[in-house]
Amino acid sequence: MLRVAVMVSGGGTNLQAIIDAVKDGTITNTELVAVISNNAGAYALTRAKDNNIPAYCISPKDYESRDAFNDALLDKVNELNVDLIVLAGFLVRIPEKMVHQYSHRIINIHPSLIPSFCGDGFYGENVHKAVIKSGVKFTGATTHFVDENVDTGAIILQDVVPVLINDDFETVAKRVLEIEHEILVKTVKAFCDNKIVFKDNRAFIVEE
């Protein structure tokens, strides 16, 4: 049984997709051992409590320095003895020492087709506003492993949606969110089933 922690800053709809997939057996061999947020008011913490998952708030605001926060976050993850960390809309940069310690065991979901519309400053509605402004005809979502930089780790899975003539950033965001749920569940399932392999520093999901 793999021990999985999910980190979330907001409402947690991607978290809910994972919870539902574990409950209905889509994701097997998995125990959700914690939900961690940097935001005490995040509805994701309520989702966790409603599903009997331990919930923790670890916020940079509660520490005298970023180093102190980083240490507290890593200490909690180590205490939980997790096999996988899922960043499901977690808006705090992961400490480099955590990235190293949990190499290829931290997965992020990003609301665009990396390497487009990603990196510093590209989060939440900022991504979708940039998509609309650019005039691209397609966007999507990406799951990837987390490395020392922002949105540069090995891509695991992507899916695509159209950008239509009457779209605004909100309609695009809604369309992308639907596929975020799908590919995040598929990615977590693949990890827990040991179906992710690497070739030339690229990640792939394989079926036996």
Write down the domain spans for the chain: 1-102, 109-140+149-208
Counting Cβ atoms within 10 Å, is residue 135 exposed (0-12), middle (13-18) or buried (19+)? exposed
Residue 55 has a pLDDT of: 98
Give catalytic residue positions: 110
Place of tokens 């979901």: 109
Residue 66 to residue 42: CA distance in whole angstroms: 21
Measured CA to CA in angstroms, residue 180 lies from 36, 74, 109, 186, 199 at distances of: 20, 26, 7, 10, 24
Q: Got the DSSP string for 27-62?
A: S-SEEEEEEEES-TT-HHHHHHHHTT--EEE--GGG
Residue 93 has a pLDDT of: 94
**Cβ atoms 95, 103 nearer than 8 A:** no
- Cross-strand pairs, 110: 142
3-state helix, strand, coil in the chain (%, to 5): 35, 25, 40
What tens digit of pLDDT does each residue of 20-43 get?
Answer: 999 999 999 999 999 999 999 999
Superfamily of domain 109-140+149-208: Formyl transferase, N-terminal domain (3.40.50.170)
Rg (CA), the chain: 16
Residue 207 has a pLDDT of: 83
Residue ranges, the chain, pLDDT below 50? none
Phi, psi of 37 (to 5 degrees): -130, 150
Place of tokens 């998509």: 131
| CATH topology match: 1-102 vs 109-140+149-208 | yes
Look at the domain 1-102 and name its fold: Rossmann fold (3.40.50)
Residue 128 has a pLDDT of: 98
